[in-house]
Structure 1
Amino acid sequence: MLKVDNVSIRYEHKQVVRNFSFHVASGDVVSIIGPNGSGKSTLLKAIARMLPYDNGSITLNNVNMKSMSSRDIAKKLCMLSQRNQAPNDISVKNLVSYGRYPHKKWFERLNDEDMQIVDWALEKTHLLHYKDRPISALSGGESQRAWIAMALAQRPQILLLDEPTTYLDISHQHEVLQLVRELNEEMGMTVVMVLHDLNQASSYSDQIVVIQEGDRKVTGSPDEVMTKQMIRDVYKMESEIQHVIWDDAPRIHLVSAVK
């Protein structure tokens, strides 16, 4: 579905990502992990066509994204950043309705079908009873759900999330990730997200991509990727890996810095 092939990205003459390749299958949840400054968010922005890349290709459904119009991309792909900004007085419903505009012509108004999709997105994210509240009155977790609802209203095939749990407390982090997983399972939505927390990536991902200093280190299932050796090599930490009865995913316990 989504293929990143030998992509390299520069920032002000500095090579940030080098010859990076990975593939995202339709319906998968893929997490990109790695230390701070390794190029995770840069790579995601290049996929969203928010940043240019020097060479290589990014294709969506076998079509090179450089040949696609911004409107066509917006119909198929939506990205949410770490911090999403909107006027404080905008209502939740009005915010979510912006997700319909990639499907409308210039100055074309939203119709009944659009508003039904907006209500559906609010229902899916459990925000119908908050629809008339200003976005500024929501908690961090509720606000993040509102932005995800806007993305849902866009009806994309792929949802890109750049550190969606940043600035949230622990309960809201899991609330947002559980919502992402529910949308993936119920709707078959493909998700690519950047995460910091290794256990969250392990629990909520079908595939994990590890990046270190702009290079791809390993890709695979949580079982294949979350090893003591990977954590030692990439994060410079000693760890213990555990499997628990209630969760098939590996649980990572960081022990100490590598000496």
Structure 2
Amino acid sequence: MLNSDQMETIYAFVTTYAGNPRISVRELHKKYSHYKNRQSTERLLRLARKSQILTGPTIWCNSGIDVQIIDNIDDPVLYLEKESINPDITYMIALIGEPSIICFKKGASILEYAEAIIPSFPAKKSIEAISLKKKGKLPPDKYPHGWNELDWQVYSTMRDPSVSFVKAGEALNVSWHTVKNHYEKIMKDCKTWATFLPKGYDNYQQSILLFETEYEVGLREELQNLDRTSLLYKCNGKIILHLFLDKTLENLVFYKLKRKGIIHDLHVSIPIGWYSSV
């Protein structure tokens, strides 16, 4: 378990990655670490990644993602194992509850929005205290129609933005200047994906919620007040929310919001298996 100084340093790294995913460890240490010794900062960063307190950063754009939500599968894990050989599938979750499977795959642009929410640390609010008061729809993540073939190649090569422009240029047989120019172009259409989970990924209970609401903007703002990342998606007007919980009963707040008519068509499930190709 990290102490408060260490946790605040890691949180500072995550928030910095959100705006500058290519920042070096040297710069992170110089500007944001509480340690005087750079090697101590490097050890802390390795520990945070190993325990998945911090993941990422990676870069993401809406490259045309189909989303399939499938109910009533007897063995979701077996279904995931069989279907994950499909090269078009980028991410799949097997679930207990309703639905049984959520699958993200290359195809029609069904996915409207995706974000790894950068939280607050310390927390400004608990999950049980979430209240939705601000109406508004999330701005859609648009497909980058203006990209050319080299833009897409640079995007694929530099999903991990710590890759040097020189190495990316060698892989693509172009100069590092060319890679840099295309990277700066595509980042105008990309988001940075980094997560902060202070207890570590394996030390939370997880839940997937599907619902519709007029308060999408308010939901995002409330999630920013928590002390851990939440994963927020939208497809076909429906919110898909991946929560990291201290206890399962924290989900009750969403049933209360449903009773008040603030959210609609609520479905709750527990993830039991994952597949990711990225």
TM-score by length of 2: 0.28
